[in-house]
Structure 1
Amino acid sequence: MTTTAVSSGAQDAGFEDATYRKVSWRLVPFLLLCYVVAYLDRVNVGFAKLQMLNDLKFSETIYGLGAGIFFIGYFIFEVPSNVILHKVGARIWIARIMITWGLISAAMMFVTTPMMFYVLRFLLGVAEAGFFPGIILYLTYWYPASRRGRTTTYFMTAIALSGVIGGPLSGWLMQSFDGHNGWSGWQWMFLVEGIPSILVGLWVLAYLDDRITHAKWLTDDEKALLQRNIANEDQHKEDPPVAQVLSSPRVWLMSAIYFSFVMGLYGVSFWLPTIIKQTGVKGALDVGLLTAIPYGCAVVGMILFARSADRRGERRWHIAIPALAGAVGLVLSVQWHSDTTMAMVALTIATIGILTTLPLFWSLPTSFLAGTGAAAGIALINSLGNLAGFLSPYAVGWLKDMTQSTDSGMYLLAVCMVVGAALTLSVPARMVNQKKD
C-alpha cells in the first residue's frame, strides 16, 4: 500500500469521525434533554407517594396499580404512534407527544380519588407512547450500528440524569412548597415538573430535523457520507411487512429480554425513594438527595460499558454481566436494609447494573431491522417490554401490602434480571456483534 493511499484513508476516517461528532453534538444533548423531562414526568409519582398516599388515603396496591397503569396506555398506542412518526416525521410527532404529556402530567396535581389517579396515569401513557421507540428509530436514520450503541447510551443516560436532577428537585419542591397556596408539596411538584415538557416540546418544532437531507447545518459532503453509511447498512437488514414483524420469533425474544430488564428498571424507579426512607432516612429532601447517588454512578457505568461494547464489537456479555450485577445489588439491598450506608451501596450496584443493560439492549433489535419494519418492531418490543412497567410496581406494591416489606419484591426483580441475562446469551453472537469499520 502506498503512502498516498494510507494518507487518503486516514483523511477519510478523520472526516467521518468529525462528521459524526458534529451530528452528535447537534442531536444527542437535545434528545437527552427531551428524555430527562420525559422520564422525570413518568416516575415523579415515586416521590409524590411519600406525601400523596397519606393525604389521599391510598393503599400501596392503589399506588402500584396507578403507577403501573401508565404502561397500559403506553402499550396500546405504542406501535401506531411509532409508525405515524416514521410516516410524518420526528419533528412534528415528538413535539406533539411532549406537549400533551406535559399538560397531563401537570394535571396530576388535581388527583383526589383512585379513579382520577388511574385515568390520568393511563392518559399520560397514551400521550407518551411512541416517544422512546421513536427516538431509537430516529437514531437509525443518522447512525450505523457500529456507532449507535454508544450514541444510544448517551441518550439513555437521561434515565440516570433524571434521577440525579429529579430526586433532589422533587424532594425540595415537596418539602419547601408544602402548604403554599393551600396545595400540598406533591401537587406543586407535578405542576412545576410538567411545565418543562411543554416548553421543550415547542423547542422541538424549531430545532429538530426529520432526516439527513433536511439538515441545513451539514455540508453536502457530510450529508453524502452519512447517507452512504446508512444505505450500506440497510442493504443487509430486513424490512418485512408489519404483520410479519409482529409475528417474528426474534422480535418476541427481544421483547422477552426487554421485559425482564424493565421489571428491574421500574422496580427501582418507582420504589427507590420508599426503600431509602425505610432504612431510616427522614425528610423528602434527604431522600431525594440520596437517590441522586445511585443514578449519578449509573451515568458513569453506562458510558464505560457502552464504550467497551463499541470498541470490542461485542454486545451479549456487555448486557448480561450488568444484568447479573443488578440482580446481586437487589438481593444485597434486602440483606442490608437496616443499614443506610450498606443499603445505599447495594442500591447503587443494582442501579448501575439495571440501567447499563437498557441502552446496550437496543443494539440487538436494531442490528437486523430497518425501515417500516424497524418502526413496528422497535415499537412492539418497547411496548411489550414496558408492560413490565405495569406489572413491576403493582407486584411490588401488592407484595408489600401482603408482607409489610419490600423484600420479596426485590427478590422477584432480581430473578427477572437473571432471566434477562440468560435470554440475552441465547441470542446468536453472529446476529448482533459488529465491529466498527
Structure 2
Amino acid sequence: MSIPNSTAACSVAVQDERNALYRKITWRIIPFIFVCYLFNYIDRVNVGFAKLQMLKDLSFSETVYGLGAGIFFIGYVLCGVPSNLALTRFGPRRWIAVMMIAWGLLSTALLLVKTSEQFYILRLFTGAAEAGFFPGMVLYLSQWFPASRRGRIMALFMAAIPVSGLVGGPFSGWILNHFALGQGGLAGWQWMFLIQGLPTVLLGVLAIFMLSDGFAKARWLSDDERRLLEADLRADAASKVQGVSDSVSAVLRNPVVWAFGLVYFCIQSGVYAINFWLPSIIKSLGFSDALVIGWISAIPYLLAGLFMQLVGHLSDHGGERRWYLVVPMWMGAAGLIVAVSFADNPVMAIFGLSIATMGALTGLPMFWPLPTAFLSTAAAAAGLALINSMGQIAGFVSPYLVGWVKDMTGTTDVALYLLAGMTVLGSLVALSVSRR
C-alpha cells in the first residue's frame, strides 16, 4: 500500500524540523564545549612538551616525569564518580565552571614547581579538579541528542583532542623556543604553563553564561522545539537495554559496565602513550628544534581529526557501532608496531605514528555511543563516570610504564609493543560485549 502524499509530506516536514532543531542545538552547544575540552586536553598533556626543558632544569629522571605525568590520573580516578554525581546535584552550568576555574589555576601553578614532590602534588590535585569534566560532558550531550545522532556529535566534541595536538604542538614548541632565554625570570616551560593555563579560568567564568542546565531551561529554544526534543529523548530512553538498575551500587556491580571500562582502559592506553611521548619519540628520530618537533607532531593529529569526523558520520548512517570502534583500535595497534619496527626510518616511523594516532583517537568518540545507549538516564551519571575513570587509569599506567621501560632499557620499543597488544585485547572485549 502506498503512503498518501499528505502523510509523506508531513513526515518529511517533521524530519526537516527535527534536523533544523539539532543543527541549532549543535551550533549553540558544541563550539563552546569544544573550546573548553581543547584547553582541558592541552592542560592535561602539555607536560609532554614541558618535559623537553623542565627535566634538565629541575634534574628530573624519566621515571620522575612518567610518575608525575601519570599521577594526575590517580586524582582523576578517585574523584570521577563523586564529581559526576555532584554535577547532577548542582547542575552542569555551575559545576563545570567550578571545575574549570580550579584546574586552570592548578595547571598554571605548575610553573612554580621546584621539586619532584611539588610536581606530584600539583598533578594529583589537577587531576582531581578535572575528573568530572569529560564524563559530565558525555552525560550532558546525551541529554540533548538521541543515540542515533551521538556518533557525529561525539566526533565533533572530541575533535578537540586532535586539534589540541594540531594547535597545541606548534604553539607549545613556539613558546619553548621564544622564551628559551628566560624572559621575565621564567623559563620557556614555565611560560607555557602560564600562557596555556590562564585561559581555562576565563572559560570557567564564561560557562556560567554559555551553558544551560538542560533543554527545559534553555531560553533559546521555543516551546515546540522543547516538545520535539523531549519526544525524541523519551523514545530514545524507551529503547535502552533493560535490566540496569538506576542505583549507584547496582551500576557499580554490573559486569557489562566493568567490561566497557576495560575496553576504554585499553583505548586510552594507546592514546596516552601517544599524547605524552610523541614529542620525545619525534626527538629521538633526530629532530632537536622544539618548534620543528611541534610541527611534525601536528601531522598525526591533523590526519586523526579528519578521520574522526569521517568515521563519526559513517557510524551514525550505518547504524553498526561495533566495527566502527574495533577497526580504529586495530589501526592504533598496527600503527604503534610500524612506528617501533621502523624507528631508524623517520618517514616510516612518522607514518606509523600517524596511523596509530588516527586509530587511537577515533576509537574514543566511537566508544561512547555504546555505553550511553546501554545505560538509563539515572544510571548514566555513575556508570559513565566509572567507565571514564577506569579508562583514565591508563593515563597513569601508560606514561609511567613507558618511562620506566625507557630508563631500564634505553628505548620505548618494548613498552609500545605491550600497549599495542593491550589495544588488540580491548578490541576483542569490545566485540564480545557489544554483541550482547
Q: Provide the residue aligned with 2:126 in structure 1.
A: 124
Match of 2:238 among 229, 235, 240: 235
Q: Provide the residue aligned with 1:50 in structure 2.
A: 52
Q: Provide the residue aligned with 2:5 in structure 1.
A: 3
Q: Provide the residue aligned with 1:426 in structure 2.
A: 432
Contact 1:85 1:93 in 2 (8 A): yes
Cα deviations across residues 88-118 of structure 1 (Å, max 9, x unaligned)?
A: 1100000111110000000000111110000
Q: Provide the residue aligned with 2:299 in structure 1.
A: 293
Cα deviations across residues 40-91 of structure 1 (Å, max 9, x unaligned)?
A: 0000000000001111111111100000000000001100100111121100
Q: Provide the residue aligned with 2:210 in structure 1.
A: 207
Cα deviations across residues 2-51 of structure 1 (Å, max 9, x unaligned)?
A: 11111000000000001000000111111111100000000000000000
Q: Provide the residue aligned with 2:157 in structure 1.
A: 155
Aligned residues: 430
Contact 2:267 2:426 in 1 (8 A): yes
Q: How does 1:136-175 map to 2 (within 5 A)?
A: 136-175=138-177
Query: What one-letter code is carried by the residue in structure 2 that aligns with 1:399?
Result: V
Q: Provide the residue aligned with 1:435 in structure 2.
A: none
Q: How does 1:278-317 map to 2 (within 5 A)?
A: 278-317=284-323
**SS in structure 1 opposite 2:369?**
coil
Contact 1:264 1:414 in 2 (8 A): yes
Cα deviations across residues 106-157 of structure 1 (Å, max 9, x unaligned)?
A: 0000111110000000010011010000000001110110011110111001
Q: Provide the residue aligned with 1:403 in structure 2.
A: 409
Q: Provide the residue aligned with 2:37 in structure 1.
A: 35
Match of 1:277 among 270, 276, 283: 283
Distance 2:139 2:434 in 1: 23
Q: How does 1:320-359 map to 2 (within 5 A)?
A: 320-359=326-365
Distance 2:434 2:35 in 1: 35
Q: Does residue 68 of structure 1 match 2:74?
A: no
Superposed displacement of residue 342, structure 1 = 1.7
Contact 1:67 1:121 in 2 (8 A): yes
Contact 2:260 2:433 in 1 (8 A): no
Match of 2:224 among 199, 221, 224: 221
Superposed displacement of residue 376, structure 1 = 0.1
Q: Provide the residue aligned with 1:434 in structure 2.
A: none
Gaps of 5+ in 1: 432-437
Match of 1:135 among 117, 134, 137: 137
Q: Provide the residue aligned with 1:196 in structure 2.
A: 199
Distance 1:334 1:145 in 2: 38
* Distance change in 2, residues 1:125/1:428 (3 Å): closer
Query: What one-letter code is carried by the residue in structure 2 that aligns with 1:48?
Result: A
Distance 2:105 2:315 in 1: 39
Q: Provide the residue aligned with 2:419 in structure 1.
A: 413
Query: What one-letter code is carried by the residue in structure 1 that aligns with 2:340?
Result: V
Distance 2:198 2:281 in 1: 28
> Runs of 4 or more off by more than 2 Å in structure 1?
235-239
Distance 1:48 1:428 in 2: 39
Distance 1:267 1:80 in 2: 27
Distance 1:75 1:43 in 2: 16
Contact 2:79 2:132 in 1 (8 A): yes
Superposed displacement of residue 182, structure 1 = 2.0
Query: What one-letter code is carried by the residue in structure 1 that aligns with 2:316?
Result: D
Superposed displacement of residue 235, structure 1 = 2.5
Match of 2:86 among 84, 95, 98: 84
Contact 2:149 2:316 in 1 (8 A): yes
**SS in structure 2 opposite 1:426?**
helix
Distance 2:327 2:351 in 1: 18
**SS in structure 1 opposite 2:365?**
helix
Superposed displacement of residue 371, structure 1 = 2.5
Gaps of 5+ in 2: none
Contact 2:375 2:383 in 1 (8 A): yes
**SS in structure 1 opposite 2:329?**
helix
Superposed displacement of residue 189, structure 1 = 0.2
Superposed displacement of residue 333, structure 1 = 0.5
Cα deviations across residues 350-376 of structure 1 (Å, max 9, x unaligned)?
A: 000000101110011101112231000
**SS in structure 1 opposite 2:220?**
coil
Query: What one-letter code is carried by the residue in structure 1 that aligns with 2:178?
Result: S
Contact 1:77 1:130 in 2 (8 A): yes
Superposed displacement of residue 239, structure 1 = 5.0
Distance 1:306 1:428 in 2: 17
Contact 1:242 1:372 in 2 (8 A): no
Distance 1:415 1:333 in 2: 14
Query: What one-letter code is carried by the residue in structure 1 that aligns with 2:280?
Result: T
**SS in structure 2 opposite 1:281?**
coil
Identity value in percent: 50
Q: What TM-score, normalized to structure 2?
A: 0.97
Query: What one-letter code is carried by the residue in structure 2 that aligns with 1:41?
Result: D
Superposed displacement of residue 428, structure 1 = 3.9
